C-alpha cells in the first residue's frame, strides 16, 4: 500500500497530512469535551536539558509525508532533525488535564514516587491510542482520493480495523487506568525500574505487545534521559503481570541490561528522541542499523536492536525488582482538584 501511495497519491498524502495536523480532538479524560492540546510524550524541559542541541533532537518525522520518500515499506526509515516543541507530541488532553495528570511524571529521577509511575503508564497508553486513532483518520481521509472502488474499500477496511482497536484499547487500557486514578481497586499497576547514573542521550515512550497475537499482553515503557542520569520504567496491569515477567526473562543477566535498553529505544519504540551528541557520533553503518531497526515489525529481519547505547560497568550490573503500585494520597489530591469528573464504567 505504501509504494502505491508514493507513486500515485503524493498530493493526497500532503493534503491528508495537513488535515490531520489541523484536526480537532477532544480531551481523552472521561467526561471532558475540551479541545486536546499537543501533549509531550517526553517532558519538554528534560528533552531540552538532556538531549537537545540548539533546540533540536533527531527522530522520525511525525508526518505522513515521510511515506513519499520511500519506495516501499521495507526501506530504512528517515531520521531527521526535529524541534523539541514538535518532538513526540500527541493530541491527548486539554491543558487542565495535561497538567494535572502528568505533573507526577515530571518529577526528577531522585523524586520518584508511585504517582510518577501511574502517570508514566497513562502517558504511554495515551500516546499509543492517539497514534492508532490518527492512522485510522489518515486511512479514512485517503480513501476519499482513491477512484478504484476496491482500493477505496481496502483503505476503509483497514481504517475500521484501527477504529476497533482504538475502541477496545480505550475500554481495556485507558479506561482501566482512569479507574485506578479515580480510586478503583479492581486492579493495580506493576512496574520494573532501572536507574542509570549516566545520561543515555535517548528518550522514548510508548507500548508494545509481548505476544503479537495477545491483545492483553501490552507493556508500557518510558526511557527518560536527564542531564545527570536516566530512568527506564516498564509498567503493566497487575492482572497480566505474567507478560512483563516473560519479557524480562530475555534479559535476566546483568550483561543483558544494555541490550534491554537498546531494544526499548530502537526496536520496541516507534520514534525515539536521540540527542545530536549521540546521533552525530555514529558512523554510517550504525545509523543505517538504527533506521532499519525502527521499521515496522512486519518489514524487518532484525531480532534485536543494534548496540548504540553503551552502558558503564556500574550501570550494566544494576538490577531491579517489580513492585506492586497502589494509588497514592498525592493522586487523590490531584483528582480532588479536578472538580466534577465522570468516572468510566469499571471493567
Per-residue pLDDT of the chain (347 residues; tens, 9 = 90+): 443 444 457 888 888 889 999 999 999 999 999 999 999 998 887 777 899 999 999 998 777 766 666 666 778 888 999 999 888 899 999 999 999 999 888 766 555 667 889 999 999 999 999 999 999 999 999 999 888 899 899 999 999 999 999 999 999 999 999 999 988 888 889 989 888 889 999 999 999 999 988 999 999 999 999 988 899 999 999 999 999 999 999 987 777 889 999 999 999 998 999 999 999 999 999 999 999 999 888 778 778 899 999 987 766 555 444 443 332 333 333 333 333 333 222 22
Domain ranges of the chain: 2-337
Give the pLDDT confidence score for residue 247 in this predicted structure.
93
Give the pLDDT confidence score for residue 147 in this predicted structure.
85
Give the pLDDT confidence score for residue 334 in this predicted structure.
36
Give the pLDDT confidence score for residue 303 in this predicted structure.
84
User: SS in 3 state form for the chain?
Assistant: CHHHHHHHCHHHHHHHHHHHHHCCCECCCCCCCCECCEEECCCHHHHHHHCCECCEEEEECCCCCHHHHCCCCCCCCCEEEEECCCCCEEECCCHHHHHHHHHHHHCCHHHCCHHHHHHHHHHHHHHHHHHHHHHHHHHHHHHCCCCCHHHHHHHHHHHHHHHHHHHHHHHHHHHHHHHHHCCCCCCCEEEEEEEECCCCCEEEEEEEECCCCCHHHEEEEEEEEECCEEEEEEEEEHHHHHHHHHHHHHHCCHHHHHHHHHHHHHHHCCCCEECHHHHCCCCHHHHHHHHHHCCCHHHCCCCCCCCCCCCCHHHHCCCCCCEEECCCHHHHHHHHHCCCCCCCCCC
Tell me the whole-structure pTM to 2 decimals.
Answer: 0.86
Amino acid at each position: 500500500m505504501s509504494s502505491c501511495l508514493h507513486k500515485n497519491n503524493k498530493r493526497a498524502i500532503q493534503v491528508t497530512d495537513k488535515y490531520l495536523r489541523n484536526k480537532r480532538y477532544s480531551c481523552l479524560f472521561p467526561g471532558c469535551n475540551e479541545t486536546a492540546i499537543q501533549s509531550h510524550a517526553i517532558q519538554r524541559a528534560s528533552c531540552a536539558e538532556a538531549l537537545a542541541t540548539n533546540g533540536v533532537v533527531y527522530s522520525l518525522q511525525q508526518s505522513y509525508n515521510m511515506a513519499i520518500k520511500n519506495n516501499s515499506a521495507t526501506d530504512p526509515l528517515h531520521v531527521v532533525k526535529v524541534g523539541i516543541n514538535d518532538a513526540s507530541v500527541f493530541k491527548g488532553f486539554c491543558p487542565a488535564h495535561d497538567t494535572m495528570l502528568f505533573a507526577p511524571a515530571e518529577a526528577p529521577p531522585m523524586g520518584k514516587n508511585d504517582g510518577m509511575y501511574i502517570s508514566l503508564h497513562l502517558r504511554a497508553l495515551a500516546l499509543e491510542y492517539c497514534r492508532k486513532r490518527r492512522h485510522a483518520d489518515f486511512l479514512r481521509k485517503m480513501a476519499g482520493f482513491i477512484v478504484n472502488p476496491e482500493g477505496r474499500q481496502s483503505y476503509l477496511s483497514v481504517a475500521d480495523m484501527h477504529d476497533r482497536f482504538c475502541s477496545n484499547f480505550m475500554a481495556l487500557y485507558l479506561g482501566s487506568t482512569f479507574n485506578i486514578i479515580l480510586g478503583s481497586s479492581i486492579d493495580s499497576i506493576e512496574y520494573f525500574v532501572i536507574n542509570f547514573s549516566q545520561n543515555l542521550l535517548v528518550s522514548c515512550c510508548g507500548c508494545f505487545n509481548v505476544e503479537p497475537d495477545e491483545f492483553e499482553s501490552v507493556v508500557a515503557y518510558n526511557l527518560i534521559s536527564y542531564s545527570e542520569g536516566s530512568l527506564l520504567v516498564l509498567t503493566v496491569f497487575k492482572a497480566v503481570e505474567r507478560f512483563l515477567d516473560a519479557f524480562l526473562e530475555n534479559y535476566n543477566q546483568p550483561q543483558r541490561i544494555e541490550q534491554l535498553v537498546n531494544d526499548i529505544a530502537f526496536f520496541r519504540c516507534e520514534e525515539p528522541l536521540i540527542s545530536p551528541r549521540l546521533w552525530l557520533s555514529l558512523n554510517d553503518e550504525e545509523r543505517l542499523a538504527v533506521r532499519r531497526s525502527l521499521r515496522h515489525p512486519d518489514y524487518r529481519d532484525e531480532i534485536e536492536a543494534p548496540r548504540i547505547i553503551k552502558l558503564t560497568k556500574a550501570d550494566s550490573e544494576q538490577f531491579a525488582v517489580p513492585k506492586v503500585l497502589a494509588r497514592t494520597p498525592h493522586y487523590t489530591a490531584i483528582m480532588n482538584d479536578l472538580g466534577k469528573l465522570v468516572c468510566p464504567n469499571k471493567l
